[in-house]
């Protein structure tokens, strides 16, 4: 199987610090925090009142069609798809049959599930809203995006927890390399919902304070929402049609392991091998670090095995943890940093869990060539992606 790079010709991204590539790049460059009091739902009775919300998000700014009902996860996916397709200029220039979709989500459409279940319990079953039910499936965003934009190519939903977005990108990379699909939108979306936050609280993985990635005092993650979809096609296709190339996806890897550190190390090695890169080629690491002490420490141990001691970005200190959307959001953020020439500092870092890695305490003016994006599940399962900018 060829390990040729795949071109990224469009990026649609929604985060608490910016909506769209330019806003995200500006937010990262200024070190802007998107963590604030929760407004998506009433959190007064919960032990946390802060999270990462995309407060400025309005679907009407991205698509013109009117929806009778729409789950927020689906709305995030629709907007991300609209932005990525706008960049790629695929729509109108090629049949919809040539465009596919690989979309991941950790939580799915929790708002719809909660609403339908509540109505079902509160009233007779015949009064439960059927429209809400049809929007409650994890693959509902896939259907809505495909219908909205006329996509009739390969379509797959990935629901593998926090690494769902990484799995979607890995699958898309593999399909394009094997010439099983010419053009794919790939990424993930997860909305901040009360159900998801309560589930994280019940699991004991939520911080009692603000998120402190890689800090010795960290005690958990801070939930967030986000979405990112990348327009992916072969480099040959992009060059032949003189497309604007925003970067390249070079390789991917994923692994479990006897320990979390082993899983991360193996995922890194597999991704580098898939990309045809040596470990010393990594210019910056966009860590999965979310403030879970054991996971952050294991990730730091694995990163310490990179010989060049590259700078390490802990972006979740600014945006929170967007669950299954992290990997594609991380790819978009890495390309923003390559484009903008600034790597952001880690917010609220006091005492680092490891002195063996270069965790950024101050913004760094740098234009990394090759970036490693890590994605680690609370369970310890790990994924890694390798990207580079358009000019390398």
> With bands split at pLDDT 50, 70 and 90, how would you rate the model's confidence at 391?
confident
How many whole angstroms separate alpha carbon 333 and alpha carbon 22? 10
Whether pTM > 0.85 for this model: the answer is: yes
Check pLDDT > 80 for residue 82.
yes
pLDDT of residue 1: 47
pLDDT of residue 210: 87
Six-digit token pair at 88? 């790629």
Check pLDDT > 50 for residue 310.
yes
The vertex-66 CA angle with 190 and 15, nearest 5°, equals 25
For residues 337-360, give the mean pLDDT.
94
pLDDT of residue 127: 80
Percent of the chain with pLDDT strictly greater than 70: 98
For residues 159-177, give the mean pLDDT.
95
pLDDT of residue 182: 84
Q: Which residues contact 64 (CB under 8 A, 6 or more apart)?
A: none
pLDDT of residue 93: 73
* 153: three-class secondary structure by DSSP: coil
For residues 251-257, give the mean pLDDT.
94
Does 167 or 121 have the greater pLDDT score? Answer: 167
The vertex-348 CA angle with 345 and 354, nearest 5°, equals 75
For residues 224-244, give the mean pLDDT.
95
Check pLDDT > 80 for residue 124.
no
How many whole angstroms separate alpha carbon 351 and alpha carbon 340? 28
Residues 92-113: pLDDT tens digits?
777 666 899 999 999 999 999 9
Check pLDDT > 90 for residue 31.
yes
Residues 258-272: pLDDT tens digits?
899 999 999 999 999
pLDDT of residue 125: 80
219 burial (CB, 10 Å; 0-12 / 13-18 / 19+) is: middle
Q: Calculate the dihedral angle through the C-alpha atoms of 281, 369, 187, 83, rounding to the nearest 10 degrees.
A: -170
Residues 278-287: pLDDT tens digits?
999 999 999 9
Q: Which domains does the chain have, with CATH numbers?
A: 6-388 (3.40.47.10)
Task: Report the greatest alpha carbon distance in the chain.
Answer: 64
Q: What is the mean pLDDT of the chain?
A: 94
């Amino acid at each position: 199987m060829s390990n040729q790079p795949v071109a990224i010709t469009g990026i649609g991204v929604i985060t608490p610090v910016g909506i769209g590539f330019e806003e995200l790049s500006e937010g990262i460059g200024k070190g802007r925090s998107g963590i604030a009091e929760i407004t998506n739902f009433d959190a007064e009775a919960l032990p946390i009142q802060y999270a990462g919300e995309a407060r400025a998000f309005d679907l009407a700014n991205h698509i013109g069609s009117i929806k009778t009902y729409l789950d927020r996860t689906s709305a995030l996916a629709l907007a991300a798809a609209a932005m990525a397709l706008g960049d790629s200029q695929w729509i109108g220039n090629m049949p919809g049959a040539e465009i596919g979709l690989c979309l991941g989500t950790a939580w799915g459409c929790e708002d719809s599930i909660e609403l339908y279940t509540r109505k079902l319990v509160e009233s007779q079953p015949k009064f439960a809203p059927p429209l809400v039910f049809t929007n409650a499936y994890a693959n509902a965003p896939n259907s809505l995006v495909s219908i909205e934009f006329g996509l009739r190519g390969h379509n797959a939903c990935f629901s593998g927890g926090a690494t769902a977005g990484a799995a979607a990108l890995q699958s898309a990379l593999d399909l394009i390399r094997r010439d099983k699909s010419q053009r794919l939108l790939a990424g993930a979306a997860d909305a901040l919902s009360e159900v998801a936050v309560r589930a994280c609280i019940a699991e004991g993985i939520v911080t009692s304070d603000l998120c402190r990635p890689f800090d010795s005092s960290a005690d958990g993650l801070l939930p967030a929402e986000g979405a990112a979809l990348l327009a992916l096609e072969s480099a040959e296709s992009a060059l032949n049609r003189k497309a604007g190339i925003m970067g390249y996806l070079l390789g991917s890897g994923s692994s479990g392991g006897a320990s979390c550190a082993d899983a991360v190390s193996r995922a890194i090695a597999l991704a580098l091998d898939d990309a045809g890169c040596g470990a010393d080629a990594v210019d910056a690491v966009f860590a999965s670090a979310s403030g879970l002490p054991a996971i952050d420490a294991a990730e730091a141990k694995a990163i310490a095995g990179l010989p060049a001691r590259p700078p390490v970005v802990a972006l979740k200190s600014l945006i929170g943890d967007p669950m299954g959307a992290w990997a594609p959001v991380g790819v978009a953020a890495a390309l923003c940093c390559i484009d903008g020439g600034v790597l952001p500092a880690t917010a609220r870092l006091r005492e680092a869990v490891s002195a063996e890695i270069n965790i950024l305490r101050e913004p760094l003016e740098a234009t990394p060539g090759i970036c490693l994006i890590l994605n680690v599940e609370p369970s310890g399962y790990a994924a890694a992606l390798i990207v580079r900018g358009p000019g390398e």
